[in-house]
Amino acid sequence: MKKEEKRVKTAGKASSAKRKPARHEDFLTDTSRLAPAEAGEKERGALGERIRTARETRGLTLEDISSRTGIDVPTLKRFESSEIAPPLGQLIRLGKALDMKMGYFISPGVDKPMTVVHKDKRRAVARYGQKKQEKYGYSYESLAPEKANRMMEPFIVTLLPTDAEEFSTHDGQEFLFVLEGEMKVQVGDQVEFLRPGDAVYYDSNQPHLVKSATRTKATILAVLYTSSK
């Protein structure tokens, strides 16, 4: 009798897990649950401050930005207060709504012909989540934060494994190069599995999915062109 009860409880847990699949969050999907980067308070506050300043300079309200981007007002308030960090996809939408390049929000940079970011000096822009045991999310590190007026946005992105899948759509184009692990990429109905050394280029205004294809993380080089401004 006890063994039967144990099997029922186990089955119930499995059924519950199926009913509530982990939400996939690729590096261009809404990730409002993610925490800001583990940096100093001044650095963490700079992004939200730049978003608010750009909005107020243009005489726009939070409601105006919400209608232009599809991002709800409470989430925009959390962005501007630096309570949470916007994902890349939403930064692209904010840039278009405010007539600013996305790079301005990541880092305005300085006007010089060349900038260098050494490996040990890269800083993460986002983390996986507030609880380390959470198995969703991504992290990304900007590779050109100090270059002003940049036309491209290069990142090192780490994708965590997940079973669920969601698609993302936004303006621009993307180039991805696999450095470590195996990545699944789907654009429309076309599905590809890429390994270290493989690359893909696609129009990101098409529904697309990027995720780790295995039970381990995948690390990729991502270059985004958003054509903002």
Angstrom distance (rounded) from CA 166 to CA 25: 7
Burial class (CB in 10 A: 0-12, 13-18, 19+), 140: buried
Q: Is 54 helix (H, G, I), strand (E, B) or coil?
A: helix
pLDDT, greater one: 173 or 46: 173
CA distance 178 to 196: 5
Mean pLDDT calculated for residue range 73-83? 91
Give per-residue pLDDT as tens, 172-198: 899 999 999 999 999 999 999 999 999
The pTM assigned to this predicted structure is: 0.64
Q: Which of 150, 139, 144 is nearest to 100 (CA)?
A: 150
Domain boundaries, the chain: 41-225
Q: What is the pLDDT of residue 40?
A: 35
DSSP assignment, residue 119? G
Q: How confident is the model at residue 201 (pLDDT cuts 50, 70, 90)?
A: very high
**Nearest by Cα to 173 from 213, 228, 219:** 228
With a cut of 80, say whether residue 79 has pLDDT above it. Answer: yes
Share of the chain above pLDDT 90, in %: 32
What is the predicted pLDDT for the residue at 175? 97
Tens of pLDDT along 102-136? Answer: 777 776 666 778 888 888 877 765 544 433 334 44
91: region left, alpha or beta (phi > 0 left; psi from -120 to 50 alpha)? alpha
Q: Could you tell me the fold of the domain covering 41-225?
A: Jelly Rolls (2.60.120)
148 versus 61: which is more confidently predicted?
A: 61
The alpha carbon torsion through 129, 131, 133, 138 (nearest 10 deg) reads 10
Residue 81 has pLDDT above 50, yes or no: yes
pLDDT given for residue 125 in this prediction? 59
The tens digit of pLDDT for each residue in 3-45 reads 444 444 444 444 444 443 333 344 544 333 333 333 333 444 4
What average pLDDT does the chain have? 75
Q: CB–CB of 46/89 below 8 Å?
A: no
